[in-house]
Every structure is written in C-alpha cells, then in structure tokens.
C-alpha cells in the first residue's frame, strides 16, 4: 500500500465517523485520571520552559486540544480529516484547528514549544514512523517537550467498522513502549518517562514523555 492509499483511506474513514466519534469519546478523559495527570505534567513542562504555542497532531474533534487550553497551554490542533476538523471547529469555535498531515507537517522549523500526539500514531505504518518523528523534531523547539499516547501490543488489525457502526478501512498498529521509545531516540528525542495504563482511553495504553534534543 502506498502512502497516498493509507492516508486517503484514513481520511475518508474519519470523515465518515466524525460526528459519532465526537459524541462517543467526549467524556473519556473524565474517566482517565492517569492520562489527565500526564497532560497536566506536560502542561507544567511547557510553562516551565517559558510557554509558547503547542500543537496537537492528529487532534480529531479537538477534545485534548481543548483540555490543554484549560491547563493554560496555548494549544492548537491539526488533523488529516476535514470532517474531524469541522466538528472540532463547531465544538470549540474559540480554538485554532487546521487540516494537515503528520507525514508532512506544514509548520515552520522550531515554531512550537511542545507537541502532543494522543492516540493518533496508531494508523501510521512502521516504515513511516521515522519520517513522522523527524517532522516532530523539526517543528519543536530545542528542549521542547513531547507527549505521546498510543495503544500497546504487538498486533496490527484492520478496522472495518467503528464509532456508531460506520464503515471504516484503517489499520490499527499496537506497539510496545520500548519500540516507540527507540524510534524517538533515533530521531532526535530524549525519552524521560514511559508507562502503561488501563483506562477508558485504552484497554492498554502507552504514555511517553520526551523532549527534543538540542
């Protein structure tokens, strides 16, 4: 499958489910204290480094971007799916959301103080992860923090239906934290912490906090 194939299928799938997705995941974070703690710790890191704009890459319908704003972070969101961005703008009209891809981030070098990818790496094939992390490093200021959330496991599955029974056609990649951490280190990040959690966000989720090396 070419990059255009899987990106197109991911975009189309999430365009279809955007409205029902927003409804189904709206309150998940309220049921996930460990994830809330990770987001709060990330906000502290950003503010401790002097603040500045923070991008959530793969923001979906904007719930995490909006939560970061309640923590005092100047956050904005980017997502591949125009349908998701439409819902994000509807639900959070005071915030900035843009259509874009983490495989080709349209952001200037060193333009963000931090970056969050919250369960949004799950559709990126293994052979594209390095390029994605290289883009992350390029746009984050030296020393800026990075927060990743992802599903933990060793399998890739094809998701053909979801979020209200709508048809989808996306591969879901579950990965071990040690593998994700190794990819980060090979692409210019230092990993400060990694943990696994079980919550409403994921049956088994991984959370990694890192920072861009100088």
Per the prediction, the chain carries an average pLDDT of 96
Residues in the chain: 214
In angstroms, the first-to-last Cα distance of the chain is: 35
Distance CA 128, CA 22 (A): 27
Q: Compute the average pLDDT of residues 198-212.
A: 96
pLDDT digits (tens, 9 = 90+) for 66-86: 999 999 999 999 999 999 999
pLDDT digits (tens, 9 = 90+) for 170-187: 999 999 999 999 999 999
> Would you state the pLDDT for residue 16?
96
Q: List all residues 6 or more positions away from 141 whose beta carbon is below 8 Å from its beta carbon.
A: 52, 110, 111, 112, 113, 212
pLDDT digits (tens, 9 = 90+) for 113-144: 999 999 999 999 999 999 999 999 999 999 99
The pair of three-digit structure tokens given for residue 58, joined into one six-digit string: 């793969």
> Would you state the pLDDT for residue 214?
87
The pTM of the full predicted model, rounded to 2 decimals, is 0.95
Distance CA 42, CA 210 (A): 10
Which residues sit opposite 190 in a β-bridge? 211
> Would you state the pLDDT for residue 204?
96
CB 42 within 8 A of CB 8: no
Whether 2 shows a pLDDT value over 80: the answer reads no
Considering only CA atoms, which of 109, 90, 86, 108 is closest in space to residue 99? 86
Whether 4 shows a pLDDT value over 80: the answer reads no
Whether 1 shows a pLDDT value over 70: the answer reads no
């Amino acid at each position: 499958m070419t990059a255009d194939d899987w990106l197109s299928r991911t975009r189309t799938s999430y365009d279809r489910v955007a409205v029902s997705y927003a409804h189904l995941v709206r309150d998940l974070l309220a049921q996930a204290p460990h994830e809330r703690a990770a987001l709060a710790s990330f906000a502290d890191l950003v503010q401790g480094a002097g603040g500045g704009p923070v991008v959530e890459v793969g923001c979906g319908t904007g719930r995490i971007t909006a939560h970061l704003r309640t923590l005092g972070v100047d956050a904005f969101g980017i997502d591949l799916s125009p349908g998701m961005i439409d819902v994000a703008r509807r639900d959070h009209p005071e915030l900035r959301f843009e259509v874009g891809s983490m495989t080709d981030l349209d952001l200037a070098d060193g333009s963000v103080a931090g970056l969050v990818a919250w369960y949004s790496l799950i559709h990126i094939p293994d052979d594209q992860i390095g390029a994605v992390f290289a883009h992350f490093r390029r746009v984050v200021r030296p020393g800026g923090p990075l927060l990743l959330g992802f599903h933990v496991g060793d399998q890739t599955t094809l998701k053909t239906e979801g979020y209200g029974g709508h048809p989808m056609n996306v591969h879901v990649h579950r990965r071990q934290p040690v593998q994700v951490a190794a990819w980060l280190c090979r692409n210019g990040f230092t990993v400060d912490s990694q943990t696994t959690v079980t919550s409403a966000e994921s049956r088994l989720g991984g959370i990694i906090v890192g920072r861009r090396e100088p």
